[in-house]
Amino acid sequence: MVSNIISFVSEDKIVEIKNPDPNETLLNYIRTKLKKTGTKEGCAEGGCGACTVVLGELKNNEINYKSINSCITLLPTLQGKQLILVEDLISKDGSLHPVQKAMVDCHGSQCGFCTPGFVMALFSMFKQYSRPKGEIIKDSIAGNLCRCTGYQPIIKAAQSLKNKNKIDHFSKNKKIIIKLLKKINNKSILIKKKDKQYFAPRYVQELKKIIKRNINANFLSGGTDMSLSITKERKDINSIIYMNSIHELNYIKNNTKYIEIGATTPLSELENYIKKYYPDFTKILKRYGSLQIRNVGTVAGNIATASPIGDCLPLLLSLNAQIVLQDFKKTKILFLDNFFINYRKTKLKKGQFIHSIRIPLFKKNIFKAYKISKRFDDDISSVCAAFNLEIIKNKIVSIRIAYGGMAAVPKRATSCEKILLNSLINHETINKAKEALEKDFKPINDMRASRFYRMEVAKNLLEKCYVEIKKAKTIGLYG
Ligand SMILES: Cc1cc2nc3c(=O)[nH]c(=O)nc-3n(C[C@H](O)[C@H](O)[C@H](O)COP(=O)(O)OP(=O)(O)OC[C@H]3O[C@@H](n4cnc5c(N)ncnc54)[C@H](O)[C@@H]3O)c2cc1C
Ligand code: FES
Ligand code: FES
């Protein structure tokens, strides 16, 4: 069934919006149409968390609660989901939700501007974890900024939740919500409004038919890059194909040779899955935007954006990843090495989409990755580096090194690799390899870092990798 009516669940009811503006943000809808002003607007670019709301989505007959930034979420993408706002947390009898009560009891609010965002970020954590602590708490609120309370009282409020009874009015109504979500989960969306059109197919086959007739349409996945051209650059996006409605492409699997990630898989799911194979990949993803960003953002979007500071890109290049591209007729598999042409220019052709990403499994290799940014959490890299090497009897027998933030595109350090390949791993070789980085890169000065700083950092990260490997070998970690 194809419809121009968006259906979602709010306050235990199905709400319908006929033919919404495809460029309207969810935040705008909440504040100006629903007239619910608990959800705040701070930055309008996904960076402060003031606009955090929670979406409930059906997965394996359960509701998966995710915090998201409503300021960069386009309204039609609400189709088939449950929308939970800060106003919805209070029970019908007027009592506060355990998360709200914890914030009051621990004095977690002063001016209150950031508070609804924190409450919603903590609410999604409360629904997902039975005993949240440490890293889980930090991760849940790393995307929320507070400029007056200070974080300690908020962290205390979060810690106190581990002792709280998990039964709230959402768990009591779960069966009803699941039934409602199932009822609205059966349609694809086609909106035509003035000069704008929006498609949300549910299957790849349907997607291909849409592409054939709309070759210039823009693919939208998490929207964490694309929506900013609406909210910050004030541009219109006239033709959109929403990819994340295709559940068929939301998967991660592996065989003995590679991990395959479907294009619509959110980064927050990848960070859990890949930890077992490449712990440093997870380490970088944990510092990739915020949980709100990673709950919707995708690797496919990161690749297609082709930003020189896209964090997945040096990691994928060093792991020799491949991308599976499709258009309405053909499938093509390309090494990521051959994908980036120039600043934000790729080999992606009109009507071609990223279907999936394949990351080889190097079972004998050491994989290390580092991100340097001005702020530890929720900040863009100044430099990001990834090292993938195999060492046999102190000799480097294979190596792939890639950097972000050092050139117009994320790029391999091939001169540096040449020095290291088939060499003994020692301080002398590393010093030569560090010098070779000067041949590989001519970084630029910008507001994030100077050219000099970038080069120094790039060299130091290579040294850091060496020191860590040496230390690990001394204690027998790498044989
Ligand atoms: C607050 C904030 C913090 C951020 N922090 C980081 C960070 O730390 N590190 C980092 O690397 N990035 C960061 N980003 C950028 C962004 O989150 C990533 O690039 C993300 O991976 C983009 O994925 P998406 O699914 O949201 O892409 P979208 O915004 O939906 O799309 C981005 C581009 O990719 C295209 N596209 C999307 N899916 C496909 C597909 N399947 N096939 C073909 N083309 C496609 C779109 O047409 C568009 O051109 C941040 C962004 C924000 C707003
Ligand atoms: S308003 Fe700042 S993240 Fe949305
Ligand atoms: S309470 Fe004022 S910004 Fe957080």
In the reported structure, the alpha carbon of residue 49 is separated from the centroid of ligand 2 by a whole-number distance in angstroms of 5
pLDDT tens figures, 270-290: 999 999 999 999 999 999 999
Contact 129, 73 (CB under 8 A): no
In the reported structure, the alpha carbon of residue 114 is separated from the centroid of ligand 1 by a whole-number distance in angstroms of 25
Ligand 2 pocket: which of 26, 43, 147, 378 to mutate (most atoms within 8 A of CB): 43
In the reported structure, the alpha carbon of residue 74 is separated from the centroid of ligand 2 by a whole-number distance in angstroms of 13
Residue 130 confidence (pLDDT): 85
For strand 383-392 and strand 366-372, is the pairing parallel, antiparallel, or unpaired?
antiparallel
Which residue's CA lies nearest to atom 2 of ligand 3? 111
In the reported structure, the alpha carbon of residue 233 is separated from the centroid of ligand 1 by a whole-number distance in angstroms of 16
Residue 476 confidence (pLDDT): 67
Residue 131 confidence (pLDDT): 85
Give the max Cα distance, the chain.
72
Ligand 1 pocket: which of 70, 241, 302 to mutate (most atoms within 8 A of CB): 302
Q: Which of 239, 220, 214, 243 is nearest to 328 (CA)?
A: 214
User: Does the structure show a pLDDT above 70 at 5?
Assistant: yes
pLDDT top residue among 200 and 60: 200
Q: Which residues make beta-bridge pairs with 356?
A: 262, 324
Q: Could you give the CA distance from residue 433 to residue 415 in angstroms, rounded to a whole number?
A: 8
**Span 392-419, average pLDDT:** 97
DSSP code of residue 423: S
Could you tell me the pTM of the whole model? Answer: 0.97
pLDDT tens figures, 97-130: 999 999 999 999 999 999 999 999 999 999 999 8
Residue 399 confidence (pLDDT): 98
Q: Which of 110-119, 160-169, 288-297, 429-438 has the lowest mean pLDDT?
A: 160-169
Rg value, the chain, Cα: 23
User: Does the structure show a pLDDT above 90 at 447?
Assistant: no
pLDDT top residue among 331 and 163: 331
Residue 222 Cβ contacting ligand 1 at under 6 Å: yes
Contact 106, 33 (CB under 8 A): no
Residue 233 confidence (pLDDT): 93
In the reported structure, the alpha carbon of residue 294 is separated from the centroid of ligand 1 by a whole-number distance in angstroms of 10
Ligand 2 pocket: which of 28, 30, 45 to mutate (most atoms within 8 A of CB): 45
Q: Residue 223 — very low, low, confident or very high, per pLDDT cuts 50/70/90?
A: very high
User: Does the structure show a pLDDT above 70 at 234?
Assistant: yes
pLDDT tens figures, 26-48: 999 999 999 999 999 999 999 99
> For ligand 3, which residues put their CB under 6 angstroms from it?
109-115, 146-149
Residue 256 confidence (pLDDT): 96
DSSP code of residue 74: B
User: Does the structure show a pLDDT above 70 at 477?
Assistant: no
Residue type, 333: I
Contacts of 150 (CB under 8 A, 6+ apart): none
